[in-house]
Amino acid sequence: MRALTAVEDDVMETTVDGSAALGARASPGAATLLGDSLLAAAADGCATLDRDGCIVAVNDALCQMTGYSRAELIGRGAASLCADRQDRRDIVRLARQLRRRGHAHGEVWARRRDGGAVGAWLSLSALPAGGQASFLALLTDVTALRLRREHERYLARVDTSTGLPNRAQLHAHIAHAVARAMRTGDALAVYVVAIDALRKVRGDWGHEAGERLLWALAARLGSVLAPRAILARSGDDAFAVLLRGGNAAMWADCAEALRRCCVEAGTAAELGVDVRLVAAVGYAVYPGDAADADALLACAEQAVGEARAAGGNAWRRFDVERARSMQRLGERLDEVREAIAAGDFVVHYQPQVHMPSGRLCGAEALVRWRHRERGLVRPDAFLDLIEGNSLIAAFTSWLLDAVLGQIAQWRAQGLDIPVNLNVAPYHLRHPEFVPLLRAALARHPSVPAGMLVLDVTERSIAEDAAAAARNVAACRAIGVSVALDDFGHGDASLSALRALQADVVKIDQRVVRGMLDDAADADAVRGIVGLSRALRKGVIAEGVETPELARALLRAGCEYAQGYAIAQPMPPQQLAAWTRAWRPDADWRSAVQH
């Protein structure tokens, strides 16, 4: 702060004008009224000033507060007692208040004789004219309060573990840099450096070791940065760097230098711990990647997430096209989420029949989206979108309730129709699937568990066969049946059948449709039927589109089927009427293999 003795003349000029405005000086008795005895009785520091701002009298409390003796204070200009840290504007403001109103108050820093400063609440009042003293100054010691407030302001801006600017101050720096770049046309970059080992250090070696690591990392990161760069602590395990100016090559070099600096610091002796650091760096550039300070930091943090996903010890620049793709994905997921809540999804059912007799033996549940703009949307347009996403749990819960509720309605009408329901491979492996299934069955106690058949595919066990097998076994233990879907297409069908212990085999429609033109497909169907019988599994053919395919299947020994030659998927309220009206082709019975 500037010394306030330099503004004494300005202040005194305003106080002289203030004195003149208050009228003529009072009689000499006024000075006696405000003599030493009255000042001594005050607990706060007190002083009287003449019209020129010089001290006329002081009390002991003021002497103790400042460390000056009475003789050192009397006759001294009051402004010279302002500490170096005092802002000149505060004194000018107080003087102007005194001039306009005849009184003023505010916080000041007073100089102590030992060079220190004392925070005080200063009240200035003009005295009645007629005595030597023209003004009364009262000072209340508020040093502790002011220091605490200053410390709080410091904590609001600085990370105490490293002494670096904290996230709030970093944001202020970025906002200022962006505003400047808008005027000058310069570029700037924000880097986020994520250190994956920080939590482990605290857990294994304690908080103190973690603090030493933070200090060492802060020092090393600062050592590789350009002088104009700003280093900050942006999170529990992350630092951030604001680099003003540069080009693509410089930004990439800086990212690599930051990453290498953190990794090499893992073997530094000053850390006090033996730790291998993994550092991921992500960065974003203004104006190319983001349009404002908030977006710039968010883009850098998204980029560091991608660097972490790459296995750590990597750096990535924010990918604008990928971000736009992710935004579109998020918008589509939001649309699906809203459709679930609005009841825009419906379930249609495709009948499964015993072809020789025409008896309905089950139905496959197929979801449709009644889109407000695109009409009835098939599942292949949205199921891949939500599979592997957290939305799959909400969707599956809704689907289970819809299917089990429909089975209950049919049972109330005298129809016992088992329903096949496709399960997403990701969800089948997930630990939450079986509890979700149990909860749905509990909500529909009138539906036997055996009325529900879960269709699973080879893809369900491709990534984690053990998890899929555990969940399938748990489902079968509840009483739910399991069908291995799309069987016969690919090389892993037999191993999948053994791993999942499925109750039913569903022959893949691609194999079925090739039966009439491809001898290999026809042989495959006969082999699957023979294998299923040997293993005592049920078998059903999918994709039966023509009467000729139905007859070929019957000759191959497969009597159960579903497909357009039998019926298209239909709303549940139509299924009962279709069951009563449908009759199998007359030639099918004669085609049955004997």
What pLDDT does residue 326 have?
63
Q: For residue 62, what pLDDT band results from cuts at 50, 70 and 90?
A: confident
What pLDDT does residue 477 have?
93
Q: Rounded to whole angstroms, how far apart are CA atoms 473 and 502?
A: 9
CA 528 to chain CA centroid, Å, is 49
- Ranges 275-279, 436-440, 473-477: which has the least confidence: 275-279
**Are 401 and 353 in a shared domain?**
yes
379-395 pLDDT tens trace: 777 777 777 667 788 88
Cβ atoms within 10 A of the Cβ of 107, count? 16
CA 359 to chain CA centroid, Å, is 54
Q: Show Cβ contacts of residue 522 under 8 Å, excluding neighbours closer than 6 positions.
A: 514, 515, 516, 552, 556
70-115 pLDDT tens trace: 888 888 888 788 877 776 777 778 888 887 888 888 888 888 888 8
**Are 423 and 300 in a shared domain?**
no
Residues facing 265 on adjacent strands: none
**Are 91 and 219 in a shared domain?**
no
Q: Is residue 264 part of a domain?
A: yes
Q: What CATH code is carried by the domain that includes residue 79? A: 3.30.450.20
**Are 104 and 197 in a shared domain?**
no
Q: Does the N-terminal peptide bond of residue 287 adopt cis geometry, omega within 30 degrees of 0? A: yes
Q: Evaluate whether 488 touches 528 at the Cβ level (below 8 Å).
A: yes
Mean pLDDT of 147-154: 72
Most confident by average pLDDT, 16-25, 69-78, 133-142, 193-202: 69-78
What pLDDT does residue 271 have?
55
- What's the number of domains the chain is made of? 3
**Are 22 and 73 in a shared domain?**
yes
pLDDT at 407 over 70: yes
Q: Rounded to whole angstroms, how far apart are CA atoms 124 and 576?
A: 95
**Are 263 and 388 in a shared domain?**
no
User: What percent of the chain has a predicted confidence (pLDDT) above 90?
Assistant: 22
Buried-state track 115-138, b at ≥16 Cβ within 10 A, e below 16: eebbbbbbbbebbebbbbbbbbbb
**Are 186 and 217 in a shared domain?**
yes
523-561 pLDDT tens trace: 999 999 998 888 888 999 999 999 899 999 999 999 999
What pLDDT does residue 539 have?
94
Last residue in a domain, options 96, 114, 143: 143
Q: For residue 462, what pLDDT band results from cuts at 50, 70 and 90?
A: low
Q: Is 493 helix (H, G, I), strand (E, B) or coil?
A: helix
What pLDDT does residue 526 have?
92
pLDDT at 402 over 90: yes
Q: Is residue 12 part of a domain?
A: yes
Last residue in a domain, options 270, 300, 318: 318
Name the residue with higher pLDDT: 589 or 448.
448
pLDDT at 205 over 60: yes
Q: Structure tokens of 593?
A: 């293999």
Mean pLDDT of 506-511: 91
pLDDT at 280 over 90: no
Q: Does the N-terminal peptide bond of residue 227 adopt cis geometry, omega within 30 degrees of 0? A: no
Q: Taking the alpha carbons of 34, 36, 38, 40 in that order, is the dihedral positive or negative?
A: positive
Name the residue with higher pLDDT: 406 or 18.
406
Q: Is residue 237 part of a domain?
A: yes
**Are 240 and 377 in a shared domain?**
no
Kind plus residue range of the DSSP H or E element containing 92: helix 88-101
pLDDT at 158 over 90: no
What pLDDT does residue 490 have?
60
What pLDDT does residue 30 have?
38
What pLDDT does residue 480 have?
94
Kind plus residue range of the DSSP H or E element containing 111: strand 103-111
**pTM check: above 0.85:** no
Q: Is residue 453 part of a domain?
A: yes
pLDDT at 562 over 80: yes
Q: Is residue 579 part of a domain?
A: no
What pLDDT does residue 564 have?
92
Q: Taking the alpha carbons of 139, 140, 142, 143 in that order, is the dihedral positive or negative?
A: positive
Measured N-to-C along each axis, helices 465-478 and 433-443 cross at an angle, to the nearest 10 degrees, of 20
Q: Is residue 304 part of a domain?
A: yes
Q: Taking the alpha carbons of 91, 93, 95, 98 in that order, is the dihedral positive or negative?
A: negative
DSSP secondary structure, 15-48, as one string = HHHHHHHT-S---THHHHHTSHHHHHT-SSEEEE
What pLDDT does residue 9 have?
41
**Are 202 and 171 in a shared domain?**
yes
Q: For residue 267, what pLDDT band results from cuts at 50, 70 and 90?
A: low
Q: For residue 409, what pLDDT band results from cuts at 50, 70 and 90?
A: very high
**Are 107 and 166 in a shared domain?**
no
Q: Is residue 125 part of a domain?
A: yes
Q: Rounded to whole angstroms, how far apart are CA atoms 55 and 78?
A: 6
Q: For residue 19, what pLDDT band results from cuts at 50, 70 and 90?
A: very low
pLDDT at 4 over 50: no
Most confident by average pLDDT, 227-241, 394-408, 493-507: 394-408
Residue type, 361: C
User: What percent of the chain has a predicted confidence (pLDDT) above 70?
Assistant: 84
What pLDDT does residue 449 have?
95
What pLDDT does residue 203 have?
67
CA 364 to chain CA centroid, Å, is 39
What pLDDT does residue 544 have?
93
- Ranges 33-42, 55-64, 119-128, 494-503: which has the least confidence: 33-42
Q: Evaluate whether 391 touches 382 at the Cβ level (below 8 Å).
A: no
pLDDT at 478 over 60: yes
Cα distances (Å, whole numbers) of residue 539 to 487, 527, 562, 569? 10, 12, 11, 20
Q: Rounded to whole angstroms, how far apart are CA atoms 303 and 323?
A: 10
**Are 422 and 494 in a shared domain?**
yes
Q: What CATH code is carried by the domain that includes residue 402? A: 3.20.20.450
pLDDT at 269 over 80: no
Q: Rounded to whole angstroms, how far apart are CA atoms 297 and 284?
A: 8
Q: Which domain holds residue 284?
A: 158-318
pLDDT at 32 over 60: no
pLDDT at 352 over 90: yes
What pLDDT does residue 572 have?
93
104-124 pLDDT tens trace: 888 888 888 888 888 888 888
- Ranges 6-20, 155-169, 329-343: which has the least confidence: 6-20
Q: What is the mean pLDDT of the chain?
A: 80
Q: Structure tokens of 396?
A: 């599956």
What pLDDT does residue 29 have?
38
Q: Is residue 327 part of a domain?
A: no
Q: What CATH code is carried by the domain that includes residue 247? A: 3.30.70.270
**Are 310 and 353 in a shared domain?**
no
164-194 pLDDT tens trace: 888 888 888 999 999 998 888 888 889 998 8
